[in-house]
Copies of this chain bind each other. A is one copy, B any other.
Amino acid sequence: MVAARLPSLASLLSPSTASFGRRSPVILLRHHRLLRPPLTAAFSAQSAASSPPETQDRVESLKSRVNQEKDRVITPRSQDFNAWYLDVIANAELADYGPVRGTMVIRPYGYAIWEAIQDYMNVKFKETGHSNMYFPQFIPYSFIEKEASHVEGFSPELALVTVGGGKELEEKLVVRPTSETIVNHMFTQWIHSHRDLPLMVNQWVNVTRWEMRTKPFVRTLEFLWQEGHTAHATPEEAENEALQMIDVYTRFAYEQAAIPVIAGRKSKVETFAGATKTFTIEAMMGDRKALQAGTSHNLGQNFSRAFGTQFTDENGQRQHVWQTSWAISTRFVGGIIMTHGDDSGLMLPPKLAPIQVVIIPIWKKTGEKTGVLSATASVKQLLQTAGIRVKLDDSEQRTPGWKFNFWEMKGVPLRIEVGPRDVSSGSVVISRRDVPGKEGKVFGISMEPSVLEACVKDKLDEIQSSLLGRATSFRDSNIVDVLSYDELKSAISLGKWARGPWSASDADELRVKEETGATIRCFPFEQPQGTKTCLMTGNPAEEVAIFAKSY
């Protein structure tokens, strides 16, 4: 019954040549790619577009309109991954470009994903004993210089305040690129005895790094993140803390974001400027490039020695504290887009989706409207009460078909359709975002509250695991085990990740980067059994490393 009422997803993908007399989307897209302000309202439900006359067959007209609107919006992912990414961000209204090169405005829909990440993390951080606080963002330049490798790593990307209140400053101020230095400056004042330890804090803030090549969410001049900072009495505690936090990130990635990251340790070359060890989670994007999605650093005593952060231990001896820092950022939103999205746009994991279910009322005749709207309002109320994030799109400026595509493009995991015949039979139709066509639809779900609620929750759970399953298969089919440098080069040239035993030098690692564009993403925590021979040198190796091109 529904097939006759609505266009199938397949029909929506057929080409169209009609024009609606609006500004050319092709130009809009090109603007976007050139990092100039895009006209991001192009696909907004609020923007003006004339509706076809109501006398015409509604289904047929929406079919053709949808095709036209659809075709003009998003570059197919398979055709140009980068263009697709930027189109999704613009059209789903996740972000926009700020007026200063490389800066990003995070729009409400994108920010809501970030808020979902914050909500989850804040609970986990507090459960693991951390408190939120706030350190100032202006750091005296001299602080940055105190830790040798830190200044080397960060000085090329600093933004400097040199004028304040109309006067040239005596000491220029660094706009926080990360806060280890100012954190240590304060810790020296708060830590005296072993009883002051561990000191475990976190802050949610903006940070600035003067990046030359930027990309929304993935690498921007200013971004949002959380940075955890802890101080401990022993190196073991610091190591455990750094491992605990990379584990929190890993669980978040799997369970909330449905991203099967690979957790491991960075090589010395790739370790954070100032850390003794960096742990990382590496995610495979849809174009098979790696995204470093979160890091946790064991800082050892590097910063505490540079700043004199000491405590008196139980034996009355002065010791430098052992520290960690760890962060995830708005880059994670980019990771979600690039892991799950498809040609139709964004695809959000239900646990992080700002809207988990969209309800679309469908009617042809005016007489049908009241019944349908009343039914959809009840369904909305029911789901909202059940704690589901739900949106009822009952605007009359757009056709149902247009709405189907719009909310698919916005990545809403589940759609509920209610038409006059559904109202008569007391049922609804449910469509999964992640399974196109009839296969993803269930017809005749009862509107009976307990049935509908259970069904929607089940479907959301199914989608959540299905996204993780799909991403895991994709990841696993794109990692190649390699035993020689030739095999590594061949895997990388095919766009895949290469995993192989590695005990070669930093120079060899840099050579791989120069010759293949790939870097060691990590030595995974999960290691294969058995003896290993370094793929580069033929010497014994203790671990396999993963090599990949990355963002």
Contacts and interface: CB of A to CB of B under 8 A. Distances in A.
A131 B160 contact: no
Contacts of A159: 138, 161, 163-165, 173
Interface residues of A, number: 70
Contacts of A158: 163-166
A50 B193 CA distance: 13
Given A155-B166, A159-B163, A99 B193 contact: no
Interface stretch (A75-83, A183-191, A489-497): A183-191
B108 A132 contact: yes
Interface string A194-231: 01100001000110101010000000011010000000
Contact of A100 (B46, B110, B138): B138
A254 interface: no
A262 interface: no
B48 A185 contact: no
B165 A210 contact: yes
A233 B143 CA distance: 50
B196 A41 contact: yes
A19 interface: no
A162 interface: yes
Contact of A134 (B163, B193, B196, B224): B224
Which of A96, A111, A160, A222 has the most chain B CB atoms closer than 10 A to its own CB?
A: A160
B111 A131 contact: yes
B156 A41 contact: no
A397 interface: yes
Given A99-B182, A104-B136, A133-B106, A193 B46 contact: yes
Contacts of A185: 99
Contacts of A397: 195
A289 B98 CA distance: 40
A186 to B, nearest CB: 6
Contacts of A157: 165
Nearest to A211: B165
Interface in A22-76: 37-41, 44, 46-48
B132 A111 contact: yes
A297 to B, nearest CB: 21
Contacts of A192: 41, 47-48
A318 to B, nearest CB: 13
This protein's copies in its complex = 2
Given A107-B133, A165-B212, 14 more contacts: A41-B192, A96-B189, A98-B182, A100-B138, A100-B173, A105-B135, A105-B186, A108-B201, A137-B206, A138-B208, A158-B166, A161-B161, A161-B175, A162-B163
Interface string A96-134: 101110011111101110110000000000000001111
A291 to B, nearest CB: 21
Contacts of A308: none
6 contacts: A48-B312, A96-B190, A103-B138, A105-B136, A108-B133, A158-B164
Contacts of A517: none
A238 interface: no
A192 B107 CA distance: 17
Interface of A: 37-41, 44, 46-48, 96, 98-100, 103-108, 110-112, 114-115, 131-140, 143, 155-166, 172-173, 175, 182, 185-186, 189-190, 192-193, 195-196, 201, 205-206, 208, 210, 212, 221-222, 224, 312, 397
Given A138-B222, A210-B164, A111 B99 contact: no
Contact of A112 (B38, B40, B44, B131): B131
A134 B162 contact: no
A203 to B, nearest CB: 8
Contacts of A221: 136, 138, 164
Given A99-B139, A140-B99, A41 B190 contact: yes
A336 to B, nearest CB: 17
A140 B100 CA distance: 7
Contacts of A103: 136, 138
Nearest to A134: B106
A449 to B, nearest CB: 25
Nearest to A93: B190
Which of A136, A162, A201 has the most chain B CB atoms closer than 10 A to its own CB?
A: A136
Contact of A47 (B44, B100, B136, B196): B196
Contacts of A133: 105-108, 110-111
Contacts of A139: 99-100
Contacts of A112: 131-132
A172 B163 contact: yes
Contacts of A222: 136-138
A366 B140 CA distance: 52
A111 B272 CA distance: 28
A347 to B, nearest CB: 22
Nearest to A210: B165
Contacts of A38: 189
Nearest to A132: B111
A155 to B, nearest CB: 7
Contacts of A98: 135-136, 138, 182, 186
B136 A108 contact: no
